[in-house]
């Protein structure tokens, strides 16, 4: 079984990202068709497949449609390529990372993730960070959703998760919308609490990161997300 890596988003950190992920096989970068040609050529020179996507006309709250479209198109590329390769070369599972996120020791993390249908690093603990309220199926009174910086899962399940666009300005966190779409389409009751997600096959891999000394470096904020999410008073995993 093959695992693919999907980098999703703009090319601001193109050198750091391309230099790092070029050491791995089956890497695709899904980005916008108006990105710098110089940046795109550099990425391609590192052996990374580049998928150019037309930005959506309506980006949605916190650019949710941008993430959805670029991710979906990248996943669809893997799906199309699977039609043209031998069975043992087909990509069955994909690690999706934002284009400002570098994961170290990935060669140790990927074997740990193998077989997961849908997996996030961690999820916000309900009722802790109360500086947010939103309405999605029910009234949410805190940050309560899985982190979407890095997502891993079966290719088919990943496509289900990201295959939609928001057509109106819903002030709902993108992470919650992504989880809602996946759970609804898979027949899972939409309740963003840790136990419900675990009971329905949604897993969390922060412990694997800690066990394998993996860093998930968010270049934009200059922070290791493993250190961020390991705070158990705020996050569950």
Residue appearing with tokens 């999907």: 6
Pairing of strands 2-8, 91-98: parallel
Domain holding 114: CATH number? 3.90.550
Facing residues of 120 across strands?
151, 204
Summarised one tens digit per residue, pLDDT across range 106-160 is 999 999 999 999 999 999 999 999 999 999 999 999 999 999 999 999 999 999 9
Summarised one tens digit per residue, pLDDT across range 27-65 is 999 999 999 999 999 999 999 999 999 999 999 999 999
In which domain, by residue range, is 65 found? 2-236
Nearest alpha carbon to residue 16 among 49, 48, 43? 43
The crossing angle, in degrees rounded to 10, of helices 155-162 and 174-185 is 120
Q: Phi/psi zone of residue 137: left (φ > 0), alpha (ψ -120 to 50 degrees), beta?
A: left
Cβ distance 130 to 141 under 8 Å? yes
Summarised one tens digit per residue, pLDDT across range 194-211 is 999 999 999 999 999 999
CB count, 10 Å around CB of 18? 22
Number of domains in the chain: 1
pLDDT the model gives residue 1: 77
Summarised one tens digit per residue, pLDDT across range 66-99 is 999 999 999 999 999 999 889 889 999 999 999 9
């Amino acid at each position: 079984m093959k695992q693919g890596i999907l980098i999703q988003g703009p090319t601001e950190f193109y050198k750091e990202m391309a230099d790092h992920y070029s050491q791995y096989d089956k890497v695709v970068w899904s980005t916008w068709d108006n990105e710098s040609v110089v940046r795109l050529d550099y990425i391609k020179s590192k052996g990374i497949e580049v998928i150019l996507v037309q930005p959506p006309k309506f980006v949605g709250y916190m650019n949710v449609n941008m993430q959805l479209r670029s991710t979906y198109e990248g996943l669809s590329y893997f799906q199309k390529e699977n039609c043209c390769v031998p069975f043992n070369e087909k990509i069955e599972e994909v690690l999706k990372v934002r284009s400002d996120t570098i994961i170290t020791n990935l060669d140790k993390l990927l074997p740990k993730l193998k077989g997961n249908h849908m997996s996030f690093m961690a999820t916000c603990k309900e009722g802790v960070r109360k500086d947010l309220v939103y309405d999605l199926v029910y009234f949410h009174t805190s940050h309560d959703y899985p982190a979407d910086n890095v997502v891993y899962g079966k290719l088919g399940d990943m496509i289900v998760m990201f295959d939609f666009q928001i057509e109106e300005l819903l002030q709902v966190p993108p992470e919650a919308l992504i989880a809602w779409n996946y759970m609804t389409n898979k027949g899972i009751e939409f309740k963003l609490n840790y136990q419900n997600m675990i009971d329905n096959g949604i897993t969390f891999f922060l412990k694997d990161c800690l066990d394998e000394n993996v860093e998930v470096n968010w270049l934009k904020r200059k922070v290791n997300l493993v250190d961020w999410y390991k705070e158990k008073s705020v996050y569950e995993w």
